[in-house]
Structure 1
Amino acid sequence: MSTEYDNFVGGEWLPSDDGETFTVRNPAATDEIVSRYQRSTEEDVDAAVAAAAAAQPDWAAMPGPERGAILRRTGELLAERKQSLVTTLTTEEGKTTAEATPEVQRAIDIFHYYAEKARDFDGTVKAASGRDKTLHTRKEPMGVAALVTPWNYPIAIPAWKLAPALATGNAVVIKPASEAPSLVRAIVDCLDEAGLPAGVVNFLTGSGSEIGGPLVSHDDVDVVSFTGSTRVGTTVYEQSVADGKRAQCEMGGKNPAVVLPSADIDEAVEVVGAGAFGVTGQACTATSRAIVHEEVYEEFVAGIVDHAQEITVGDGLDGADMGPQVSESELDGTLQYINIAQDEGARLAAGGSRLDEGDHADGHYVEPTVFADVETGMRIAQEEVFGPVLAVIPVSDFDEAVSVANDSEYGLSASVLTDSLSEAERFSRQIETGVVKVNEKTTGLELHVPFGGVKQSSTNTYREQGDAGLEFFTTTKTIYTNF
């Protein structure tokens, strides 16, 4: 029997207004119902926002070190439950245990990081221009934050939104993706146990199409943070700013890895393969395009094909290298792009098929897939697939490589594989992305530095993580005192 979980509103676990629920299934074994959650309504949104608005002033008035102590205790509680959270993440989202474990640790680290930041995040003292005067600034919370988080990093991304929002004195209503809501519920449970005052965090589950709009456009919501697709994120941003709210949306990517002749090709294959097929390609920062110099093109293609064919696909709890896609719709989307690529003339070099026999019969499995001889105008080179599919594009020189890399409506993450310091520096300056890596995979982020994209990958308003996360959730007041 699966467990049914409630919303968390005003410090209480409560059913939705109309009592309707939805099921969450294991993507590795779709006949297994993992849990049931509330299908929330607009009335539930109103209740959650009201609870947050009522609780926020007292939470903001609490000294930063006291708020930080609650965040620190939350991180400790998450650490105590780490193994259980890893299993839950794998069972709901499909990541392998090897991928789920560092993600859970990332969430723990984020709460500890912002616990310390809460101690001394405030304004600055400036010299006044006259005698007998003081001049200083103060950081103040925005108010009520609406957080809409995705399924592909179901504990790390909620953590890097929740922790800075709370550290700076905001109250929160958070809506996780319906495919994997249990990790956010676990964070909320830990916050409650750590002593967070009632109403400061509120947790709603349900369809984004039904409650997402009412949440981000609610009159009493002051700031909105969203991570998800470009299509949905654009709508969220428009709804949010129409009423003058502050908003940030991090969205899709078509991330390139450029392989140049000076690179160690074996190393390049490992780096690109990890970026393309890790987390089943279900990352906004996943390596989707390998742009390879013609001098090493054939060697690279042979290597990446071998790499893809050596990956074991299966249940993440059973030691597989790559797990299933999260849902039937995501799998269908990947298979459609595989067909489109073949129709357009790309050469299928590895994979390309759904796995649906034997141990794969009940899951959303697809082979790691490599297309070679891809042209930059093909849809497989332009549109986000969000699955384990890599398009390999040949180029003749460095300038063409950068031009092809920038030939995209997205601009999130990029990497260059080279042993030339000059090429690395030129690439980092010329590439049109928010994140650039040299001799590293396009995925993987440090928690203490800004993260975000350009073009259609982001609203490019505010960055997330590190001090940038704190800045997004606060406003600055300047105070003049004549004594």
Structure 2
Amino acid sequence: MSDTYRNYCNGEWVESESGNTFSVNNPADVEDIIGHFQLSTAADANQAIDAASAAQPEWAATPGVDRGKILLETASLLEDRMDELTKTLSREEGKTRSEAAGEVQRAVDIFYYYAGKARDFGGTIKSPSEPNMELYTKSEPLGTVGLITPWNYPIAIPAWKLAPALAAGNTVVLKPASEAPRVSQAIFECLDEAGLPEGVANYVTGSGSEVGSALYQHDSIDGVSFTGSTTVGTMVAQSAADDLKRVQCEMGGKNPTIVMPSADLDEAVTIVGSGTFGTTGQSCTATSRAIVHEDIYNEFTQLLTEYAESLDIGPGLEDPDMGPHVSQDEVESTLYYVDVGEKEGATLETGGSRPTDQQYDDGHFVEPTVFSDVTSDMQIAQEEIFGPVLSIIEVADFEEALAVANDVQFGLSSSIVTQDLTEANQFIDDIEAGVAKVNEKTTGLELHVPFGGYKNSSTNTYREQGDAGLDFFTTTKTVYLNY
């Protein structure tokens, strides 16, 4: 019999006032139930917000060193549970065991990182223009914040929102995605064990329409940090802005990799293939478009097709090359775009279907898919698919490649594979994306540098991670002291 998990509110594990729960299943085997979670209401969310708001003044007054000690202990406790959390993440979200282990380690590292940053939280001293005066800034927490996180990185993204928010002295309410809520709940178990005061961090599961809307509409919420689709993020930002809440949204992507004739083709295929099919393409930074020079287009297409066909698909816990989609809805969305691509006239080189072996019958599997003969105006080249689908676009020269790369509404991650230093630097200067990589895949982020997008990939306000990750959760007071 599977476990029933509770919300975490005001330092207690509590059931929803609705009395209802929802189940979460293993996407590789839908008969494997991960557990049952609270189908919370707006009243549950409001209770958590009230608890966080009440706890905020005392937490803000807690010295940064003491806040950092709690984050440090949380990191240690998460690290002690690495194997367990890796298995949990793989079972509930579908990532391969290797991918899941990497994500859990990232969450651990994020808490260690911001544990140290909590000591630095302060301000700056400036030189005044008058004698007998001190002029300085004082950093203060924003207040109480709502965090809304997606299913595709179900422990890393909660960690990179929670850790800087708490380090800066904010109190929080987190709503995880319903597809994969268990692994993020473990963070709150560790925070509780580490001695976090009651009400400082709260966890509420449930639908976006019930719980999520409370987090960006409640009067006591001072800021909202959201990661998810552009459609929902835009709605969140517009609604939260009605009463001037601070908003940070990281949203969709349609990420290109440009491949030029000077590239090592085997390296280029690995860069594009791993960027496309890693995490089953379920990443906002996944490679979705390969923009390839005409001189190497045919050979690249053949090699990339062979790469896709060589990948082993299977349950994440078996650590294959590629795991399942997170849900049947995601499978249907991916297959919809495959159908669109064929109708638009693109050539389906490989994949595009559910695998037929009996071992895949109870899971949400789709084959790695490659389209060639794609043009930039096609729907499959413009819209985020969020699955293991690559569109290969032929271009005549670098200038056309850059124009095609920028010819989308998104601007999150990007890369180029080239040995030409001029092309590399021109790409860095002119690509319309928040992340620009040279001879690297579009996925994979360092935790100590800013992350965010351009255009419809972001609200273009605050970046996440690194020192910039503290900015959203911080307000600045300027002090003039005439003595």
Contact 1:280-1:323 within 8 A present in 2 as well: yes
Contact 1:16-1:41 within 8 A present in 2 as well: yes
Contact 1:7-1:205 within 8 A present in 2 as well: yes
Aligned partner of 1:222 in structure 2 is 222
CA drift of 1:423 comes to 0.4
Contact 1:74-1:191 within 8 A present in 2 as well: yes
The alignment's C-alpha RMSD in Å is 0.6
CA drift of 1:319 comes to 2.5
Contact 2:254-2:383 within 8 A present in 1 as well: yes
CA drift of 1:416 comes to 0.2
Aligned partner of 2:162 in structure 1 is 162
Q: Distance in 2 between matches of 1:315 and 1:213?
A: 34
Q: 1:404 aligned to 2:436?
A: no
Matches within 5 A, 1:81-92: 81-92=81-92
* Secondary structure of the corresponding residue to residue 98 of structure 1: helix
Aligned partner of 1:348 in structure 2 is 348
Q: Please list the CA deviations of residues 109-152 of structure 1 after superposition, one character each: whole Å capped at 9, or x if unmatched.
A: 00000000001121011112222211111100010010000000
Q: Please list the CA deviations of residues 332-362 of structure 1 after superposition, one character each: whole Å capped at 9, or x if unmatched.
A: 0000000000011100001111125311010
Aligned partner of 1:360 in structure 2 is 360
Q: Distance in 2 between matches of 1:295 and 1:479?
A: 62
Q: Which amino acid aligns with 2:478?
A: T
Q: Which amino acid aligns with 1:140?
A: E
CA drift of 1:283 comes to 0.1
| % identical equivalent positions | 60
Contact 1:356-1:363 within 8 A present in 2 as well: no
Q: Please list the CA deviations of residues 39-89 of structure 1 after superposition, one character each: whole Å capped at 9, or x if unmatched.
A: 110110110000000001100101001000000000000000000000000
Gaps of 5+ in 1: none
Q: Which amino acid aligns with 1:289?
A: R
Matches within 5 A, 1:239-278: 239-278=239-278
Q: Distance in 1 between matches of 2:332 and 2:319?
A: 25
* Secondary structure of the corresponding residue to residue 122 of structure 2: coil
Q: Distance in 2 between matches of 1:319 and 1:378?
A: 34
TM-score, scaled relative to structure 1: 0.99
Q: 1:448 aligned to 2:440?
A: no
* Secondary structure of the corresponding residue to residue 130 of structure 2: coil
Q: 1:290 aligned to 2:285?
A: no
Aligned partner of 1:376 in structure 2 is 376
Q: Please list the CA deviations of residues 5-24 of structure 1 after superposition, one character each: whole Å capped at 9, or x if unmatched.
A: 01000000000011110000
Contact 1:272-1:290 within 8 A present in 2 as well: yes
Aligned partner of 1:70 in structure 2 is 70
Q: Which of 451-460 and 120-129 deviates more?
A: 120-129
Q: Distance in 1 between matches of 2:139 and 2:193?
A: 28
Q: Please list the CA deviations of residues 228-275 of structure 1 after superposition, one character each: whole Å capped at 9, or x if unmatched.
A: 000100001111111100001000000000000000010000000000
* Secondary structure of the corresponding residue to residue 212 of structure 1: helix
Q: Distance in 1 between matches of 2:173 and 2:373?
A: 47
Contact 1:356-1:365 within 8 A present in 2 as well: no
Q: Please list the CA deviations of residues 359-390 of structure 1 after superposition, one character each: whole Å capped at 9, or x if unmatched.
A: 10100000000000101111010000000000
Q: Distance in 2 between matches of 1:120 and 1:415?
A: 34
Matches within 5 A, 1:318-329: 318-329=318-329
Q: Spell out structure 1 runs of 4+ moving beyond 6 A.
A: none
Q: 1:35 aligned to 2:66?
A: no
Q: Distance in 2 between matches of 1:192 and 1:411?
A: 38
Q: Which amino acid aligns with 1:339?
A: D
Q: Which amino acid aligns with 2:164?
A: P
Paired positions, count: 483
Gaps of 5+ in 2: none
Q: Distance in 1 between matches of 2:67 and 2:199?
A: 14
Contact 1:293-1:401 within 8 A present in 2 as well: yes
Aligned partner of 1:58 in structure 2 is 58
Q: Distance in 1 between matches of 2:153 and 2:351?
A: 25
Q: Which of 169-178 and 236-245 deviates more?
A: 236-245
Aligned partner of 1:132 in structure 2 is 132
Contact 1:49-1:221 within 8 A present in 2 as well: yes
TM-score, scaled relative to structure 2: 0.99
